[in-house]
Chain A
Amino acid sequence: MSRDQVEVRGLTIATRPRDGEARVIVDNISFALPKGEVLALIGESGSGKTTVALSLLGYSRPGLAREAGEIRLGGTRVDQLGPDGLADLRGRRVTYIAQSAAAAFNPSRTIIAQVIEPLLVHRLATRAEGEAKAVELFRSLALPDPVTVGQRYPHQVSGGQLQRLMAAMALITDPELVILDEPTTALDVTTQVEVLKTFKTAIASAGASAIYVSHDLAVVAQMADRILVLKDGVTQEQGAADQILTRPRADYTRTLMAAARPALRQPAKAKADEPVLEVAGLTAGYGPIRDGIPAIPVVRDVGFELSRGSALGVIGESGSGKSTIARAIAGLLPRASGSVRLGDEELAPALDRRTRDQLRRVQIVFQNADTALNPAHTVGETLARPLRFYFGLQGEAAAKRVEELLDLIHLPRSMAVRRSQRLSGGQKQRLNLARALAAEPDVLLCDEVTSALDTVVGEAILSLIDDLRRDLGIATVFISHDISRVRAFCDRLLVLYAGRAVEQADRDTFDRGEHHPYTQLLLRSVPEMDPGWLDSVPAQPVVTVEKSAGGDDLCPFLSRCPAAVRGLCDTTPPPLRAGPPEVRCHLGAPD
């Protein structure tokens, strides 16, 4: 009898279609996990990592079936349990933390009722005992107001808090094994750090073993004792975390590591010419506009310049207004005030006031290629439409240009007749890009184009865009939440917080001066491959200076700022400190 808590041997899972060939999804996977240790399953989407993790719950998704292999938890053969045995196992001995807490909670019940539900279902405690235990867990997960937070409904807490509350639900039955399925992928980096920290301590103090499913090596480095790298259902390598991170043996692991931390690209040369895109004082939002300010402003007073072939990275967390900037420039959301100049023409705020040529010169690439491509059209039709619309190309000429565009994005020409829904995620995003390129734009707005893609695929897309903008001289705006990636591909960076530009600099001079406190926080929050990194990140400070009501022009970061000065930051709007980097902060500014 081994001392391993979890043991999987020769696990093979395949699809069982009614007609047609069976396809192996997970191929002969074996691993063992001692009590109290964390195993990370890492790989891109389709690698079978979630399928393996779910099999430990005795569950396989519809259409999949276990073909061979043993799954042992403690002394139990999970693979031999019947429905009753599984019901007893799930939610008690093995628990699950899903990627999207927002989708996992029932919006119409209070949080605490859902957190203690596993205890009640398995008759392990009374409601009162359960609630007392939940409050304890809330406290250990560093949730604010542990006593009352449970009385709220899921929409009343933040995403990071909800993820921690789901961890409480998973840990409340003192499980032997916790399965975490990409639990921080949907979170902002700054939130991710806090959530990872609490997960790590909570799992350690519960003494549970854990399986952590992720595509992000750096995140895994913080959590895992052991790592198993999967690709197409096949084990690439497995071993202790240190060994994999410092001395990866498999080529695939090296590819993953390289993609996660792209090397810096050369900045675009020769920027002497006139700016292609000039944005000044851009303010946009929703609701009726009064004095150039909408009722719900999302972006306030943002400005930048972009010359031919250069790239600007707009960085911010979700809700910071970064997509709104792209939509306002493209005219999808008419701006409330400010100016957007394309070459020497001023662009009208609304789409229908712009000329067809102006529309052609600014193209936007959306984040989610699944919804950005019309499922009713073929690849060829998708690309041919802008050619016809902007250039009047039809028939032979259009078909020829479509082929050229497919070459440009490295897709085979034969794909032109396929429906766009039949493409893979990466291919869809390439097509999405090619459609924008078909218009031969001067400005390309890329809105989080890689956030729905795997690291390796996303890296390839970014490289492609980067090459094309240099070759074709397209000024590009990369909008992203990922500062480390954007940095590698951009000539200039703009950091956005709560709709305001807090810092702006050329990439080369970005690190020369002192950053805005928010940028510092962002840079600190990017996980590093070093397993000790998480413990070295200082805890985020408790709020010291409250934002007074009505102070619209005050620093937006005030309530989270560790360096805020009472009597200055909460009374006077921050000045713009001359760069580089240009920073809007009292810090280091001349009096």
Chain B
Amino acid sequence: MNRATIWLKRLPAAGKIGLALVVFWMFTAVFGPLVAPHTVGQFVDREVFDRASGQLWLGSDYLGRDVFSRLLWGARYTVFLALAAAGTAVLIGTSLALTAAIRGGWVDEILSRTMDTMISIPSKVLALVMVAAFGSSLSLLLVILTVTYVPGNFRIARALAMNVVALDFVQVARARGEGAIHIAVREVLPNMIHPLLTDLGLRFVFVVLMLSGLSFLGLGVQPPHADLGSLVRENISGITQGALAILAPALAIASLTVGANLLIDSLKSGGEA
């Protein structure tokens, strides 16, 4: 039996559900648009907020477009943008954290205080100002989301790295004359990778929620394209009718974040990632 199978077997039930949800959404993000029956902006129905039918699996939205197709496209935006932002944030945050922990002294001081300052800026307000100044675009969204989540990761990674740096084997490496990069990548990083991966997953969930929030406020992905958050917002008028057009994307956000959370939690309790 190989390691992956053993790992899967040991995963608690909640973790398996989480894993299934996450895998499902990843597949949707990658292959969804290929199987989508309609393009994003195509008008397919004269009725708005139509019920589900054989043609329109999830009914139509407030302009009479296919909700199912828009959901498949929307998932791609949400998942890829969130992955990219979380990945970049963790990469930058952890690199800075390793620098701070290994250099110590004033380097650590400056980095840590800068991050403290960044944490104190309300992220939604920052996003408002940035979008107002530069206009909304995907790259700007990526920058905003990354900047928002770097400090949190920095703090966690720095605390982890500090514990490892204090251990004797790092002293041994220093005494041997190793450079900072070797110490960071070969000695310290492997010993903090598991909690870091957990943090990456957690950041991913945060970014999904923040991106959905931004889009809901109209700051995120711009029409005619839509991520899951904008889908909820544009169909808000259908809420009184209980339209699938608003329920489906809301459920999508919920199942993606809950799934990721369940998976992360079971990884934490299992002690391995």
- Using CB atoms and an 8 Å cutoff, list the residues of chain A in contact with chain B: 330-332, 351, 354, 356, 359-360, 363-364, 366, 368, 371-377, 385-386, 389-390, 435, 439
Question: Does B80 belong to the interface (CB within 8 Å)?
Answer: no
Chain A CB within 8 A of B167 CB: yes
- With contact pairs A366-B171, A374-B169 given, residues A359 and B190 touching in the complex (Cβ less than 8 Å): no
A374-B191, A376-B191 known; A359 and B169 CB under 8 Å? no
A355 — nearest CB in chain B belongs to which residue?
A: B177
The answer to whether A359 and B176 touch (CB under 8 A), given A374-B190, A376-B190, A376-B191, is yes
Query: Which one of B172, B187, B191 has the highest number of Cβ atoms from chain A below 10 Å of its Cβ?
Result: B172
Q: Which residue of B lies closest to A447 (CB)?
A: B168
> Which residues of B (158-190) have their CB < 8 Å from a CB of A?
167-169, 171-172, 174-178, 186-187, 190
Q: Which residues of B contact A374 (CB under 8 A)?
A: 169, 187, 190-191
B107 to chain A, nearest CB (A): 15
Asked whether, in the complex, the Cβ of A371 is within 8 Å of the Cβ of B168, the reply is: yes
CB distance A359 to B167 under 8 Å?
A: no
Let me know if B171 and A439 touch, CB within 8 A. no
Taken together as a complex, chains A and B put the C-alpha atoms of A360 and B176 apart, in Å, by: 7
Which of B175, B178, B187 makes the CB contact (< 8 A) with A332? B175
**Nearest-Cβ distance from residue A379 to partner chain B, whole angstroms:** 13
Task: Give the interface residue-count category, chain B.
Answer: 10 to 19
The answer to whether B172 touches A366 (Cβ under 8 A) is: yes
8 A-B pairs whose Cβ atoms sit less than 8 Å apart in the complex: A332-B171, A354-B177, A359-B177, A360-B177, A366-B168, A385-B186, A386-B176, A389-B177
CB pair B169 A331 closer than 8 Å: no
Contacts of B178 in A (CB 8 A): 389
**Residues of the B chain whose Cβ atoms lie less than 8 Å from the Cβ of A360:** 177
With a cutoff of 8 Å between Cβ atoms, the chain A residues found around residue B177 in the complex are: 351, 354, 356, 359-360, 389
Query: Which residue, of B174, B177, B178, has the highest number of chain A Cβ atoms within 10 A?
Result: B177
Question: Which residues on the B side are within 8 Å of A376 (C-beta)?
Answer: 190-191
Report the minimal beta-carbon distance from A547 to chain B, rounded to whole angstroms.
Answer: 34
Find chain A residues with CB under 8 A from B174 CB.
Answer: 332, 351
Selected contact of B172 from candidates A331, A356, A435, CB within 8 Å: A435
Interface residues of B (CB under 8 A from A): 167-169, 171-172, 174-178, 186-187, 190-191
A364-B172 contact given A356-B177, A389-B177, CB 8 Å threshold:
yes
Chain A residues within 8 Å of B168, by CB: 366, 368, 371-372
Give chain B residues whose Cβ lies under 8 Å from the Cβ of A377. 190
A326 to chain B, nearest CB (A): 10
Task: Write the nearest CB–CB distance from B184 to chain A, whole angstroms.
Answer: 13
Q: Evaluate contact between A372 and B175: CB separation under 8 angstroms.
A: no
A330 to B169, CA, bound (A): 14
Closest to B164 in A: A374
In the assembled complex, how far is the CB of residue A375 from the closest CB belonging to chain B, in whole angstroms?
6
Contact of A359 among B175, B186, B191 (CB under 8 A): B175
CA gap between A373 and B167 in the complex, in Å: 9
Closest CB in chain B relative to A123 CB, distance in Å: 40
State A376–B164 Cα separation when bound (angstroms). 12
User: Told that A371-B169, A376-B191 touch, could you supply 18 new A-B pairs with CB distance under 8 A?
Assistant: A330-B175, A331-B175, A332-B174, A332-B175, A351-B174, A366-B168, A366-B171, A368-B168, A371-B168, A372-B167, A372-B168, A373-B169, A374-B190, A374-B191, A375-B191, A376-B190, A389-B176, A389-B178
Contact assessment for B175 and A351 in the assembled complex, using a CB-CB cutoff below 8 Å = yes
Most central of A331, A356, A372 by chain B CB within 10 Å? A372
The minimal Cβ–Cβ distance linking A588 to chain B, given in whole angstroms, is 41
CB distance from A451 to the nearest CB of B (A): 14
B171 surroundings in chain A (CB, below 8 A):
332, 366, 372
What is the CB-to-nearest-CB distance from A307 to chain B, in angstroms, rounded to a whole number?
23
Contacts of B191 in A (CB 8 A): 374-376
- The 10 A-B residue pairs with the shortest CB-CB distance in the complex, in nearest-first order: A376-B190, A372-B168, A359-B177, A371-B168, A374-B169, A366-B168, A371-B167, A330-B175, A376-B191, A356-B177
- Considering the complex, give the chain B residue whose CB is closest to the CB of A382: B169
List residues of chain B with CB within 8 A of the CB of A364: 172, 175
Chain B residues lying within 8 Å of A331, measured Cβ to Cβ, are 175
Q: Complex formed: what's the CA distance from A354 to B178 in Å? A: 12
Evaluate contact between A372 and B176: CB separation under 8 angstroms.
no
Cα–Cα distance between A375 and B175 once the two chains are bound (Å): 18
Q: For the complex, what is the distance from the CA of A366 to the CA of B176, rounded to whole Å? A: 13
Chain B residues with CB under 8 Å of A354's CB are 177
Separation of A331 and B174 alpha carbons in the complex (Å) = 9
Question: How far, in whole Å, are A376 and B169 apart by their CA atoms in the complex?
Answer: 11
Which B residues are CB-close (under 8 A) to A332?
171, 174-175
Distance A360 CA – B177 CA, assembled complex (angstroms): 8
- Complex alpha-carbon distance, A377 and B188, angstroms: 11
- Distance from B178 Cβ to chain A, minimum over Cβ atoms (Å): 7
Q: How far, in angstroms, from A377 to B171 measured CA to CA in the complex?
A: 16
Chain A nearest CB from B174 CB (Å) reads: 6
Nearest Cβ on chain B to A448's Cβ, whole angstroms: 12
A-chain residues with CB within 8 Å of residue B167 when the two chains form the complex: 371-372
Min CB distance, B18 to chain A, in Å?
A: 24
**B26 CB to closest chain A CB, in angstroms?**
28
Closest-CB distance, A108 to chain B (whole angstroms): 23
Q: How far is the CA of A374 from the CA of B191 in the complex (A)?
A: 8
Cβ-closest chain B residue relative to A376: B190
Chain A residues contacting B176 (CB-CB under 8 Å) are: 359, 385-386, 389-390, 439
Residue of B nearest to A331 (CB): B175
**How far, in whole Å, are A376 and B187 apart by their CA atoms in the complex?**
8
Q: How far is the CA of A169 from the CA of B176 in the complex (A)?
A: 47
A486–B32 Cα distance when bound, in Å, is 72
Bound together, the chains give a CA A366 to CA B172 distance in angstroms of: 8
B15 CB → nearest A CB, Å: 19
Which residues of chain B have C-beta atoms less than 8 A from A351's C-beta?
A: 174-175, 177
With a cutoff of 8 Å between Cβ atoms, the chain B residues found around residue A363 in the complex are 175
A32 to chain B, nearest CB (A): 44
Question: Residue on A with the closest CB to B178?
Answer: A389
**Complex CA distance for A359 and B172, rounded to whole angstroms:** 11
Residues from chain B with Cβ under 8 Å of A386 in the complex? 176
| Contact residues in B for A368 (Cβ distance below 8 Å) | 168
How far in angstroms is the closest Cβ of chain A from B167? 5
